[in-house]
Protein backbone atom coordinates (compact mmCIF):
# COMPACT_ATOMS: atom_id res chain seq x y z
CA UNK A 1 0.00 0.00 0.00
CA UNK A 2 1.47 3.37 -1.01
CA UNK A 3 1.92 6.40 1.19
CA UNK A 4 -1.01 8.25 -0.35
CA UNK A 5 -3.48 5.42 0.18
CA UNK A 6 -2.13 4.77 3.64
CA UNK A 7 -2.62 8.41 4.61
CA UNK A 8 -6.12 8.31 3.16
CA UNK A 9 -6.95 5.21 5.18
CA UNK A 10 -5.64 6.77 8.38
CA UNK A 11 -7.61 9.93 7.66
CA UNK A 12 -10.72 7.81 7.33
CA UNK A 13 -10.12 6.58 10.86
CA UNK A 14 -9.16 9.95 12.39
CA UNK A 15 -11.47 12.89 11.77
CA UNK A 16 -10.21 14.68 14.84
CA UNK A 17 -12.36 15.62 17.78
CA UNK A 18 -11.18 17.11 21.03
CA UNK A 19 -10.90 20.39 22.89
CA UNK A 20 -7.20 20.99 23.29
CA UNK A 21 -5.98 21.08 19.70
CA UNK A 22 -7.38 24.44 18.62
CA UNK A 23 -8.86 24.51 15.12
CA UNK A 24 -10.54 21.45 13.56
CA UNK A 25 -7.60 21.18 11.17
CA UNK A 26 -5.19 21.19 14.10
CA UNK A 27 -7.17 18.53 15.92
CA UNK A 28 -7.22 16.38 12.82
CA UNK A 29 -3.48 16.82 12.31
CA UNK A 30 -2.65 15.78 15.87
CA UNK A 31 -4.95 12.77 15.72
CA UNK A 32 -3.63 11.69 12.34
CA UNK A 33 -0.05 11.99 13.54
CA UNK A 34 -0.68 9.75 16.53
CA UNK A 35 -2.57 7.25 14.38
CA UNK A 36 0.32 7.15 11.93
CA UNK A 37 2.85 6.69 14.71
CA UNK A 38 0.93 3.73 16.07
CA UNK A 39 1.31 1.97 12.72
CA UNK A 40 5.10 2.22 12.58
CA UNK A 41 7.47 -0.62 13.34
CA UNK A 42 8.98 1.52 16.11
CA UNK A 43 5.60 1.60 17.84
CA UNK A 44 5.25 -2.14 17.30
CA UNK A 45 8.64 -2.72 18.90
CA UNK A 46 7.61 -0.47 21.76
CA UNK A 47 4.46 -2.55 22.24
CA UNK A 48 6.52 -5.74 22.37
CA UNK A 49 8.87 -4.25 24.97
CA UNK A 50 5.95 -3.01 27.07
CA UNK A 51 4.25 -6.41 27.03
CA UNK A 52 7.51 -8.21 27.71
CA UNK A 53 8.38 -6.04 30.70
CA UNK A 54 4.97 -6.26 32.34
CA UNK A 55 4.73 -10.00 31.74
CA UNK A 56 8.28 -10.48 33.03
CA UNK A 57 7.62 -8.51 36.21
CA UNK A 58 4.53 -10.53 37.14
CA UNK A 59 5.68 -14.00 35.96
CA UNK A 60 6.47 -16.89 38.32
CA UNK A 61 10.17 -17.75 38.41
CA UNK A 62 10.18 -19.94 41.49
CA UNK A 63 7.61 -22.47 40.33
CA UNK A 64 7.36 -23.67 43.91
CA UNK A 65 3.94 -25.20 43.24
CA UNK A 66 4.26 -25.65 39.50
CA UNK A 67 1.89 -28.06 37.77
CA UNK A 68 3.02 -31.32 36.19
CA UNK A 69 2.49 -29.96 32.68
CA UNK A 70 4.90 -27.12 33.30
CA UNK A 71 7.57 -29.14 35.08
CA UNK A 72 7.82 -32.02 32.63
CA UNK A 73 8.16 -29.64 29.73
CA UNK A 74 10.70 -27.21 31.18
CA UNK A 75 13.00 -29.81 32.67
CA UNK A 76 13.32 -31.53 29.29
CA UNK A 77 14.33 -28.22 27.70
CA UNK A 78 16.98 -27.81 30.39
CA UNK A 79 18.21 -31.38 29.93
CA UNK A 80 18.53 -30.96 26.16
CA UNK A 81 20.40 -27.67 26.52
CA UNK A 82 22.72 -28.61 29.37
CA UNK A 83 22.97 -32.41 29.33
CA UNK A 84 22.18 -33.21 25.72
CA UNK A 85 19.65 -35.83 26.79
CA UNK A 86 15.93 -36.60 26.82
CA UNK A 87 16.29 -39.11 29.67
CA UNK A 88 14.31 -38.25 32.77
CA UNK A 89 14.85 -41.26 35.05
CA UNK A 90 17.28 -39.34 37.27
CA UNK A 91 14.69 -36.64 37.80
CA UNK A 92 11.61 -38.69 38.67
CA UNK A 93 11.35 -37.13 42.12
CA UNK A 94 12.09 -33.52 41.17
CA UNK A 95 8.41 -32.68 41.56
CA UNK A 96 6.57 -33.81 44.67
CA UNK A 97 3.52 -35.35 43.08
CA UNK A 98 2.16 -38.89 42.97
CA UNK A 99 1.87 -38.74 39.19
CA UNK A 100 4.37 -37.65 36.55
CA UNK A 101 3.96 -37.14 32.82
CA UNK A 102 6.67 -39.69 32.17
CA UNK A 103 6.46 -42.99 30.31
CA UNK A 104 8.97 -45.79 29.90
CA UNK A 105 10.92 -46.67 26.79
CA UNK A 106 12.02 -50.28 27.22
CA UNK A 107 11.27 -52.72 30.05
CA UNK A 108 11.66 -51.76 33.71
CA UNK A 109 13.03 -53.81 36.59
CA UNK A 110 10.26 -52.54 38.84
CA UNK A 111 8.04 -49.56 39.58
CA UNK A 112 6.63 -47.13 37.07
CA UNK A 113 7.82 -43.96 35.35
CA UNK A 114 4.28 -42.58 35.77
CA UNK A 115 4.48 -43.07 39.53
CA UNK A 116 8.02 -41.74 39.70
CA UNK A 117 9.48 -44.88 41.27
CA UNK A 118 10.81 -46.73 38.23
CA UNK A 119 13.93 -48.88 38.58
CA UNK A 120 15.59 -49.05 35.19
CA UNK A 121 17.07 -51.95 33.29
CA UNK A 122 20.07 -51.30 30.99
CA UNK A 123 18.96 -49.49 27.84
CA UNK A 124 15.59 -48.39 29.28
CA UNK A 125 14.60 -44.82 30.05
CA UNK A 126 11.85 -42.58 31.40
CA UNK A 127 10.79 -39.91 28.93
CA UNK A 128 8.36 -36.98 29.08
CA UNK A 129 5.19 -37.08 26.99
CA UNK A 130 4.95 -33.27 26.71
CA UNK A 131 4.76 -31.80 23.21
CA UNK A 132 8.07 -30.57 21.76
CA UNK A 133 7.09 -27.00 20.78
CA UNK A 134 7.31 -25.46 24.24
CA UNK A 135 10.28 -27.70 25.08
CA UNK A 136 12.28 -26.51 22.08
CA UNK A 137 11.21 -22.91 22.74
CA UNK A 138 12.92 -23.06 26.14
CA UNK A 139 16.16 -24.66 24.91
CA UNK A 140 17.95 -21.45 23.77
CA UNK A 141 16.98 -19.75 27.03
CA UNK A 142 18.54 -22.61 29.00
CA UNK A 143 21.65 -22.41 26.82
CA UNK A 144 22.06 -18.76 27.79
CA UNK A 145 20.64 -18.59 31.32
CA UNK A 146 20.63 -22.15 32.63
CA UNK A 147 23.21 -23.98 34.73
CA UNK A 148 24.33 -27.58 34.34
CA UNK A 149 24.26 -28.42 38.04
CA UNK A 150 20.73 -27.39 39.00
CA UNK A 151 17.46 -27.26 37.10
CA UNK A 152 15.53 -24.00 37.55
CA UNK A 153 12.22 -22.94 36.04
CA UNK A 154 13.23 -19.31 35.42
CA UNK A 155 14.73 -19.62 31.89
CA UNK A 156 11.68 -21.52 30.67
CA UNK A 157 9.39 -18.91 32.22
CA UNK A 158 11.35 -16.24 30.37
CA UNK A 159 10.77 -18.13 27.12
CA UNK A 160 7.03 -18.12 27.81
CA UNK A 161 7.10 -14.38 28.55
CA UNK A 162 8.93 -13.70 25.28
CA UNK A 163 6.66 -15.92 23.18
CA UNK A 164 3.48 -14.43 24.67
CA UNK A 165 4.64 -10.88 24.00
CA UNK A 166 5.71 -11.90 20.50
CA UNK A 167 2.36 -13.54 19.73
CA UNK A 168 0.44 -10.40 20.69
CA UNK A 169 2.80 -8.22 18.68
CA UNK A 170 2.14 -10.23 15.53
CA UNK A 171 -1.57 -10.05 16.28
CA UNK A 172 -1.30 -6.26 16.52
CA UNK A 173 0.29 -6.02 13.07
CA UNK A 174 -2.54 -8.11 11.66
CA UNK A 175 -5.20 -6.03 13.41
CA UNK A 176 -3.86 -2.83 11.85
CA UNK A 177 -5.18 -4.09 8.52
CA UNK A 178 -8.83 -4.11 9.56
CA UNK A 179 -9.34 -1.53 12.32
CA UNK A 180 -7.96 1.82 13.39
CA UNK A 181 -4.73 1.77 15.42
CA UNK A 182 -6.58 2.69 18.63
CA UNK A 183 -8.92 -0.28 18.25
CA UNK A 184 -6.01 -2.57 17.30
CA UNK A 185 -4.09 -1.52 20.40
CA UNK A 186 -7.16 -1.92 22.60
CA UNK A 187 -7.83 -5.40 21.24
CA UNK A 188 -4.29 -6.52 21.98
CA UNK A 189 -4.32 -4.93 25.44
CA UNK A 190 -7.51 -6.71 26.42
CA UNK A 191 -6.26 -10.02 25.05
CA UNK A 192 -2.99 -9.54 26.93
CA UNK A 193 -4.33 -8.43 30.30
CA UNK A 194 -7.91 -9.68 30.66
CA UNK A 195 -7.48 -13.31 29.59
CA UNK A 196 -5.43 -16.33 30.59
CA UNK A 197 -2.49 -15.07 28.56
CA UNK A 198 -1.36 -12.93 31.50
CA UNK A 199 -2.01 -15.45 34.24
CA UNK A 200 -1.19 -18.68 32.38
CA UNK A 201 0.71 -18.44 29.09
CA UNK A 202 3.03 -15.62 30.22
CA UNK A 203 3.19 -16.73 33.85
CA UNK A 204 4.79 -20.18 33.59
CA UNK A 205 6.04 -22.29 30.66
CA UNK A 206 2.84 -24.08 29.77
CA UNK A 207 2.47 -25.14 26.13
CA UNK A 208 0.20 -22.18 25.42
CA UNK A 209 2.85 -19.50 24.85
CA UNK A 210 4.44 -21.55 22.07
CA UNK A 211 1.04 -22.22 20.47
CA UNK A 212 0.10 -18.55 20.64
CA UNK A 213 3.38 -17.51 19.02
CA UNK A 214 2.64 -19.85 16.13
CA UNK A 215 -0.94 -18.59 15.85
CA UNK A 216 0.26 -14.98 15.98
CA UNK A 217 2.65 -15.54 13.09
CA UNK A 218 -0.10 -17.40 11.28
CA UNK A 219 -2.72 -14.68 11.58
CA UNK A 220 -0.19 -12.00 10.59
CA UNK A 221 0.83 -14.03 7.54
CA UNK A 222 -2.79 -14.56 6.48
CA UNK A 223 -3.64 -10.89 6.94
CA UNK A 224 -0.92 -9.93 4.43
CA UNK A 225 -1.45 -12.96 2.16
CA UNK A 226 1.96 -14.37 3.10
CA UNK A 227 0.58 -17.88 3.01
CA UNK A 228 3.91 -19.68 3.34
CA UNK A 229 4.81 -17.60 6.41
CA UNK A 230 1.40 -18.30 7.89
CA UNK A 231 1.86 -22.02 7.28
CA UNK A 232 5.21 -22.06 9.09
CA UNK A 233 3.68 -20.21 12.02
CA UNK A 234 0.87 -22.73 12.22
CA UNK A 235 3.46 -25.51 11.96
CA UNK A 236 5.07 -24.35 15.20
CA UNK A 237 1.67 -24.18 16.85
CA UNK A 238 0.99 -27.78 15.76
CA UNK A 239 4.36 -28.82 17.14
CA UNK A 240 3.22 -27.41 20.47
CA UNK A 241 -0.38 -28.75 20.47
CA UNK A 242 -1.19 -31.06 17.53
CA UNK A 243 -4.92 -30.35 17.38
CA UNK A 244 -4.06 -26.75 16.50
CA UNK A 245 -4.02 -28.19 12.96
CA UNK A 246 -7.75 -27.42 12.96
CA UNK A 247 -6.94 -23.70 12.72
CA UNK A 248 -4.79 -23.74 9.54
CA UNK A 249 -7.24 -26.22 8.00
CA UNK A 250 -10.12 -23.81 8.55
CA UNK A 251 -8.10 -20.77 7.51
CA UNK A 252 -6.57 -22.33 4.40
CA UNK A 253 -9.75 -23.91 3.08
CA UNK A 254 -11.85 -20.81 3.69
CA UNK A 255 -9.26 -18.55 2.06
CA UNK A 256 -9.16 -20.78 -1.02
CA UNK A 257 -12.94 -20.79 -1.26
CA UNK A 258 -13.09 -17.00 -1.03
CA UNK A 259 -10.19 -16.44 -3.44
CA UNK A 260 -11.38 -19.20 -5.78
CA UNK A 261 -7.87 -20.56 -5.87
CA UNK A 262 -6.23 -23.66 -4.40
CA UNK A 263 -3.00 -21.76 -3.76
CA UNK A 264 -3.83 -20.54 -0.20
CA UNK A 265 -4.94 -23.99 0.95
CA UNK A 266 -1.92 -25.67 -0.65
CA UNK A 267 0.62 -23.24 0.78
CA UNK A 268 -0.91 -23.12 4.25
CA UNK A 269 -1.54 -26.86 4.29
CA UNK A 270 1.87 -27.96 3.04
CA UNK A 271 3.85 -25.60 5.26
CA UNK A 272 1.77 -26.23 8.37
CA UNK A 273 2.21 -29.99 7.84
CA UNK A 274 5.88 -29.41 8.68
CA UNK A 275 4.66 -29.28 12.28
CA UNK A 276 3.11 -32.74 11.97
CA UNK A 277 6.29 -34.09 10.39
CA UNK A 278 8.36 -32.52 13.17
CA UNK A 279 6.14 -34.08 15.81
CA UNK A 280 6.48 -37.52 14.21
CA UNK A 281 10.26 -37.21 14.08
CA UNK A 282 10.46 -36.00 17.68
CA UNK A 283 8.32 -38.89 18.94
CA UNK A 284 10.43 -41.35 16.96
CA UNK A 285 13.49 -40.05 18.82
CA UNK A 286 11.78 -39.62 22.18
CA UNK A 287 9.51 -42.67 22.27
CA UNK A 288 10.87 -44.92 19.54
CA UNK A 289 7.55 -44.72 17.66
CA UNK A 290 6.27 -43.01 14.53
CA UNK A 291 3.24 -41.52 16.24
CA UNK A 292 1.68 -38.16 17.05
CA UNK A 293 0.72 -38.98 20.64
CA UNK A 294 2.58 -40.80 23.39
CA UNK A 295 2.19 -41.42 27.10
CA UNK A 296 -0.89 -39.90 28.71
CA UNK A 297 -2.06 -38.45 25.39
CA UNK A 298 -2.60 -41.82 23.73
CA UNK A 299 -6.19 -42.17 24.97
CA UNK A 300 -7.31 -38.73 23.81
CA UNK A 301 -8.41 -39.65 20.25
CA UNK A 302 -10.68 -42.40 21.59
CA UNK A 303 -12.10 -39.96 24.12
CA UNK A 304 -12.88 -37.43 21.40
CA UNK A 305 -14.39 -39.93 18.95
CA UNK A 306 -16.32 -42.25 21.23
CA UNK A 307 -17.06 -40.05 24.22
CA UNK A 308 -16.89 -36.27 23.65
CA UNK A 309 -16.15 -34.30 26.78
CA UNK A 310 -14.05 -37.08 28.23
CA UNK A 311 -11.48 -35.31 30.33
CA UNK A 312 -10.07 -38.62 31.53
CA UNK A 313 -11.26 -41.08 28.92
CA UNK A 314 -14.92 -41.47 29.88
CA UNK A 315 -17.59 -39.09 28.75
CA UNK A 316 -20.72 -38.61 26.68
CA UNK A 317 -22.49 -36.13 24.47
CA UNK A 318 -24.13 -34.67 27.55
CA UNK A 319 -20.74 -34.36 29.24
CA UNK A 320 -19.43 -32.51 26.19
CA UNK A 321 -22.24 -29.97 26.44
CA UNK A 322 -21.43 -29.60 30.12
CA UNK A 323 -17.79 -28.86 29.23
CA UNK A 324 -18.84 -26.25 26.68
CA UNK A 325 -21.15 -24.62 29.23
CA UNK A 326 -18.40 -24.53 31.85
CA UNK A 327 -15.92 -22.97 29.43
CA UNK A 328 -18.37 -20.15 28.79
CA UNK A 329 -20.13 -19.40 32.08
CA UNK A 330 -18.24 -21.08 34.92
CA UNK A 331 -17.03 -18.46 37.47
CA UNK A 332 -13.84 -20.53 37.74
CA UNK A 333 -12.92 -20.77 34.03
CA UNK A 334 -15.72 -19.19 31.98
CA UNK A 335 -15.07 -16.62 29.26
CA UNK A 336 -18.21 -14.61 29.95
CA UNK A 337 -17.61 -14.38 33.70
CA UNK A 338 -13.86 -13.74 33.76
CA UNK A 339 -13.87 -11.58 30.59
CA UNK A 340 -17.45 -10.25 30.77
CA UNK A 341 -16.97 -7.49 28.19
CA UNK A 342 -17.14 -10.28 25.58
CA UNK A 343 -20.90 -10.26 26.10
CA UNK A 344 -21.01 -6.70 24.71
CA UNK A 345 -19.40 -7.95 21.49
CA UNK A 346 -21.70 -10.86 20.67
CA UNK A 347 -24.60 -8.77 19.30
CA UNK A 348 -22.26 -7.43 16.62
CA UNK A 349 -21.34 -10.84 15.17
CA UNK A 350 -23.64 -10.63 12.15
CA UNK A 351 -22.51 -7.13 11.22
CA UNK A 352 -18.87 -8.02 11.78
CA UNK A 353 -19.11 -11.15 9.65
CA UNK A 354 -20.55 -9.16 6.74
CA UNK A 355 -17.59 -6.76 6.61
CA UNK A 356 -14.83 -9.18 7.70
CA UNK A 357 -12.07 -10.06 5.21
CA UNK A 358 -11.67 -13.74 4.35
CA UNK A 359 -8.69 -14.25 6.68
CA UNK A 360 -10.70 -12.93 9.64
CA UNK A 361 -13.55 -15.31 8.88
CA UNK A 362 -11.17 -18.22 8.36
CA UNK A 363 -9.43 -17.56 11.66
CA UNK A 364 -12.80 -17.47 13.43
CA UNK A 365 -13.86 -20.75 11.82
CA UNK A 366 -10.58 -22.39 12.83
CA UNK A 367 -10.84 -21.00 16.36
CA UNK A 368 -14.39 -22.27 16.78
CA UNK A 369 -13.35 -25.71 15.53
CA UNK A 370 -10.46 -25.77 17.99
CA UNK A 371 -12.78 -24.77 20.85
CA UNK A 372 -15.20 -27.62 20.14
CA UNK A 373 -12.47 -30.20 19.61
CA UNK A 374 -10.46 -29.14 22.66
CA UNK A 375 -13.41 -29.58 24.98
CA UNK A 376 -14.23 -32.96 23.45
CA UNK A 377 -10.86 -34.30 24.59
CA UNK A 378 -10.21 -32.36 27.78
CA UNK A 379 -12.26 -30.82 30.57
CA UNK A 380 -12.68 -27.07 30.74
CA UNK A 381 -11.17 -26.73 34.24
CA UNK A 382 -7.71 -27.53 32.86
CA UNK A 383 -6.10 -28.35 36.18
CA UNK A 384 -5.06 -26.06 39.03
CA UNK A 385 -2.38 -23.61 40.04
CA UNK A 386 -3.43 -20.57 38.03
CA UNK A 387 -6.09 -17.86 37.79
CA UNK A 388 -8.42 -17.60 34.80
CA UNK A 389 -8.88 -20.01 31.91
CA UNK A 390 -6.24 -22.09 30.16
CA UNK A 391 -7.41 -24.65 27.60
CA UNK A 392 -9.56 -22.09 25.76
CA UNK A 393 -6.94 -19.35 25.32
CA UNK A 394 -6.05 -20.37 21.77
CA UNK A 395 -9.56 -20.25 20.25
CA UNK A 396 -10.20 -16.84 21.82
CA UNK A 397 -6.93 -15.60 20.29
CA UNK A 398 -8.09 -16.81 16.87
CA UNK A 399 -11.41 -15.00 17.33
CA UNK A 400 -9.91 -11.62 18.26
CA UNK A 401 -9.98 -10.10 14.73
CA UNK A 402 -13.67 -10.88 14.31
CA UNK A 403 -14.46 -9.69 17.84
CA UNK A 404 -12.66 -6.40 17.13
CA UNK A 405 -14.98 -5.89 14.19
CA UNK A 406 -17.92 -6.63 16.50
CA UNK A 407 -16.70 -3.76 18.64
CA UNK A 408 -16.35 -1.47 15.64
CA UNK A 409 -19.68 -2.27 14.00
CA UNK A 410 -21.90 -2.55 17.08
CA UNK A 411 -20.44 -1.95 20.54
CA UNK A 412 -18.86 1.44 19.84
CA UNK A 413 -21.87 2.71 17.88
CA UNK A 414 -23.80 3.66 21.03
CA UNK A 415 -22.50 5.55 24.05
CA UNK A 416 -24.19 3.29 26.62
CA UNK A 417 -22.65 0.21 25.01
CA UNK A 418 -19.20 1.77 25.02
CA UNK A 419 -19.52 2.84 28.66
CA UNK A 420 -20.74 -0.61 29.73
CA UNK A 421 -17.98 -2.30 27.73
CA UNK A 422 -15.35 -0.08 29.37
CA UNK A 423 -16.70 -0.82 32.85
CA UNK A 424 -16.68 -4.57 32.29
CA UNK A 425 -13.20 -4.46 30.74
CA UNK A 426 -11.93 -2.44 33.73
CA UNK A 427 -13.34 -5.01 36.13
CA UNK A 428 -11.65 -7.81 34.21
CA UNK A 429 -8.37 -5.88 34.30
CA UNK A 430 -8.68 -5.63 38.06
CA UNK A 431 -9.10 -9.30 38.81
CA UNK A 432 -6.61 -10.48 36.20
CA UNK A 433 -4.07 -8.01 37.60
CA UNK A 434 -4.68 -9.52 41.04
CA UNK A 435 -4.42 -13.01 39.59
CA UNK A 436 -1.14 -12.26 37.81
CA UNK A 437 0.47 -10.68 40.86
CA UNK A 438 -0.89 -12.58 43.85
CA UNK A 439 -2.85 -15.72 42.99
CA UNK A 440 -1.16 -18.85 44.25
CA UNK A 441 -3.05 -22.10 44.76
CA UNK A 442 -1.12 -25.17 45.90
CA UNK A 443 -1.32 -27.80 43.19
CA UNK A 444 -3.57 -30.65 44.29
CA UNK A 445 -5.81 -28.49 46.47
CA UNK A 446 -9.55 -28.88 46.12
CA UNK A 447 -11.54 -26.52 43.92
CA UNK A 448 -15.08 -25.64 42.94
CA UNK A 449 -15.67 -24.78 39.26
CA UNK A 450 -18.66 -22.66 40.23
CA UNK A 451 -16.69 -20.49 42.66
CA UNK A 452 -15.23 -17.13 41.61
CA UNK A 453 -11.58 -17.01 42.75
CA UNK A 454 -11.58 -13.22 43.02
CA UNK A 455 -13.92 -13.48 46.02
CA UNK A 456 -11.11 -14.99 48.09
CA UNK A 457 -8.96 -11.86 48.65
CA UNK A 458 -12.05 -10.06 49.97
CA UNK A 459 -12.84 -12.97 52.29
CA UNK A 460 -9.23 -13.09 53.49
CA UNK A 461 -8.99 -9.35 54.00
CA UNK A 462 -6.20 -8.92 51.42
CA UNK A 463 -7.15 -5.34 50.75
CA UNK A 464 -3.56 -4.28 50.08
CA UNK A 465 -3.40 -6.78 47.22
CA UNK A 466 -6.72 -5.56 45.88
CA UNK A 467 -5.56 -1.94 46.02
CA UNK A 468 -2.29 -2.65 44.17
CA UNK A 469 -4.13 -4.66 41.53
CA UNK A 470 -6.63 -1.83 41.12
CA UNK A 471 -3.78 0.67 40.64
CA UNK A 472 -2.21 -1.47 37.92
CA UNK A 473 -5.56 -2.00 36.21
CA UNK A 474 -6.29 1.72 36.34
CA UNK A 475 -2.90 2.46 34.82
CA UNK A 476 -3.48 0.07 31.94
CA UNK A 477 -6.96 1.39 31.29
CA UNK A 478 -5.73 4.98 31.35
CA UNK A 479 -3.31 4.12 28.53
CA UNK A 480 -6.18 2.84 26.39
CA UNK A 481 -8.40 5.84 27.18
CA UNK A 482 -5.58 8.24 26.33
CA UNK A 483 -4.88 6.59 22.98
CA UNK A 484 -8.59 6.48 22.16
CA UNK A 485 -9.13 10.16 22.93
CA UNK A 486 -5.82 11.51 21.66
CA UNK A 487 -6.10 9.77 18.31
CA UNK A 488 -9.70 10.96 18.06
CA UNK A 489 -10.63 7.91 16.05
CA UNK A 490 -14.19 6.80 15.56
CA UNK A 491 -15.01 3.12 15.48
CA UNK A 492 -14.99 3.05 11.69
CA UNK A 493 -13.58 0.02 9.96
CA UNK A 494 -10.87 0.76 7.42
CA UNK A 495 -9.48 -1.49 4.73
CA UNK A 496 -5.85 -1.07 5.71
CA UNK A 497 -3.75 1.32 7.73
CA UNK A 498 -0.29 -0.06 7.20
CA UNK A 499 1.85 -2.26 5.02
CA UNK A 500 2.07 -4.74 7.90
Task: Specify whether the CB–CB gap between 395 and 370 falls below 8 A.
Answer: yes
Per-residue pLDDT of the chain (500 residues), as tens digits, is: 443 443 333 333 333 333 444 455 555 555 568 888 899 999 999 999 999 999 999 999 986 667 888 999 999 999 999 999 999 999 987 666 656 899 999 999 899 998 888 999 999 999 999 999 999 999 999 999 999 989 999 999 999 999 999 999 999 999 999 999 999 999 999 999 999 999 999 999 999 999 999 999 999 999 999 999 999 999 999 999 999 999 999 999 999 999 999 999 999 999 999 999 999 999 999 999 999 999 888 877 766 665 554 444 445 567 788 889 999 999 999 999 999 999 999 999 999 999 999 999 999 999 999 999 998 888 898 888 899 999 999 999 999 999 999 999 999 999 999 999 999 999 999 999 999 999 976 555 667 788 888 998 999 899 999 999 999 999 999 999 888 888 755 444 444 444 45
CA distance 397 to 219: 10
CA distance 314 to 310: 5
Task: Specify whether the CB–CB gap between 252 and 268 falls below 8 A.
Answer: yes
CA distance 363 to 251: 5
Q: What was the pLDDT predicted at 489?
A: 54
* DSSP element (H, E) containing 31: helix 24-38
Neighbours of 207 (CB within 10 A): 26
CA distance 93 to 436: 28
Residue 108's beta-bridge partner residues? 120
Distance of alpha carbon 405 from the chain centroid: 19
| CA torsion through residues 447, 449, 454, 459, sign | negative
End-to-end CA distance of the chain: 9
Neighbours of 487 (CB within 10 A): 26
Q: Domain limits of the chain?
A: 23-64+154-486
pTM for this one? 0.90
Amino acid sequence: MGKASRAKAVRQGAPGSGKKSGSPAGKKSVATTLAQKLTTWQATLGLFVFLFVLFAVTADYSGAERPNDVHWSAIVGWSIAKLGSLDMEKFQLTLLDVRTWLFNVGPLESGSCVSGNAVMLPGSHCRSDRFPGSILLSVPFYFVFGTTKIFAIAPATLSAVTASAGALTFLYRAMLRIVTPAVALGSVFLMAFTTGIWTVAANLPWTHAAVLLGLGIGVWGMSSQRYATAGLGYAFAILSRPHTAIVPFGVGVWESIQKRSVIPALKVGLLSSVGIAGLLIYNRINAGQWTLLVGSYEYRPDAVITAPGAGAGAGSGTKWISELRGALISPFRGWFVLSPYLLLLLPGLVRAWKVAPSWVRGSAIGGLGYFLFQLAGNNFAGGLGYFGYRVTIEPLFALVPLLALCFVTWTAQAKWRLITFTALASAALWWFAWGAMFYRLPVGAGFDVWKFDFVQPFADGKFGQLFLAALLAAGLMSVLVYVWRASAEPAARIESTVDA
